Amino acid sequence: MKEKSSTETEIRELHIKEIISGAINGKKSFAFWKKQGQSQLHGIVDLGEQPSTDKGDLEEASPGFVVSPFLNEGRKKNIKINADLVFIPTDNNSCFQANPAVGVINEHTDSFIKDSSEPLDPASLESYFPTTGNTTSSEKAQFIDIVNKAKENIKAEVFHKVVPSRFSEVYYPTGWDFISAFERLHQLYPNAFVYVFGIPGVGIWMGATPELLLSIVDGRWFKSVALAGTQKIPESGDLSQVAWTQKEIEEQALVCRYIINCFKKIRLREYEEKGPKSVKAGNLAHLKTEFYVDMEAVNFPQLGSVMLDLLHPTSAVCGMPLEPSLQFLKEFEGFDREFYTGYLGPVNMQGSTQLYVNLRSMKLLSDRARLFAGAGVTEDSIAEKEFEETELKLQTLMCLF
């Protein structure tokens, strides 16, 4: 019988529960995701002892999954989950085949396969739940107060728009587990980018975001999206019945102008604009405009990295102009957003990069989950309605408990 060589390892089918259990038992970083409009899950595990920071350009990055916090000047706080072990979906989409040939074969691979056969050790989860300083939530009165302060600043022409946010915490019901919740989330939101990632000492986050920040396909095709305006889906499900108000139309137009201004800064004129149109994201409708660039035609191979630095944080999650709206949020919001309204997604995986704005997201704590939501405030905003909008957005994940 032929002995296994030093560059070979066991390749077998694993269920998502086994993969995540193996990563957590071995204190490894992991990420699972489903792209917008697709049904297949993809997953990777980083076999290194520590997550790596990744400040390099997108075009030169090795395959993996990047996560960025909201406040991240110059990409200095990016964290990279390397694709050391890649999981390829099988036909039934409930099991995954380990394909170490895609990544790195080292001494950690066999131990990971072994750890995946063991049940999830609850004690191992402690390293994924760091102590947090965020202990109070923005209650309704506080949120309405910040909206009214924002309107005063808009009236004084300090900025045109700002996007305050809040969080709500939900204690885990008896028997609740995040892996099963993620599988349900994946089934519930086919039109969202659905993800879960875990990094020891950083945390476990899960979400279903509708907003693409940018994508690059085959090193040539660049895409970005302006997504703003929020309404509840009509009972009929017919998006043509959504009647957008002037406030929502203007809010979406501001995000479009933000992207176009980024193009102007780099003197890029050759782009295609499609929209706006109504789109569905879970139980909500939004206005969406898409922007496309042929990077080969404009001879701009570094466009992805350049636009990433210009776009983040977008006016859809911060405000416009950027500096005064960001300063307002730092002064009045009252908590650290962490990865909420940052960006995340697969980089150079299967020939493409997709980075999404981290909306409709939650951070898992030891006994509860922290859910985040925000609302765009303009001169036409009504504080009570902005609070109701955050409540609607929180329902995207509340249904998991």
β pairing state of 42-46 and 85-89: antiparallel
Closest listed residue to residue 317, CA positions, set 365, 361, 368, 270 = 361
Q: Which two tokens stand for residue 289?
A: 């405009």
Closest listed residue to residue 75, CA positions, set 83, 85, 66 = 66
Tell me the C-alpha distance between 321 and 162, whole Å.
Answer: 9
Mention every residue, 6+ apart, whose C-beta is less than 8 A from residue 55.
Answer: 74, 75, 76, 78
203 and 400 Cβ atoms separated by less than 8 Å: no
Strands annotated E in 47-127? 52-53, 64-68, 79-82, 85-89, 95-99
Is pTM beyond 0.85? Reply is yes
Tell me the C-alpha distance between 52 and 46, whole Å.
Answer: 10
Tell me the C-alpha distance between 220 and 218, whole Å.
Answer: 5
**What does the pLDDT profile of the chain (401 residues) look like in tens digits?**
444 444 444 556 788 998 999 899 989 999 999 998 888 899 999 988 887 777 778 998 999 999 999 999 888 899 999 998 888 887 766 677 776 655 555 566 777 777 787 888 888 898 898 665 555 556 789 999 999 999 999 999 999 999 999 999 999 999 999 999 999 999 999 889 999 999 999 999 999 999 999 999 999 999 999 998 888 888 888 888 899 999 899 989 989 999 999 999 999 999 999 999 999 887 789 999 999 999 999 999 999 999 999 999 998 899 999 999 999 999 999 899 999 999 999 999 988 999 999 999 999 999 999 999 999 999 999 999 999 999 999 999 999 99
Closest listed residue to residue 339, CA positions, set 130, 71, 127, 75 = 71
Tell me the C-alpha distance between 206 and 121, whole Å.
Answer: 20
**73 forms bridges with which residues in the sheet?**
none
Closest listed residue to residue 56, CA positions, set 365, 359, 347 = 347
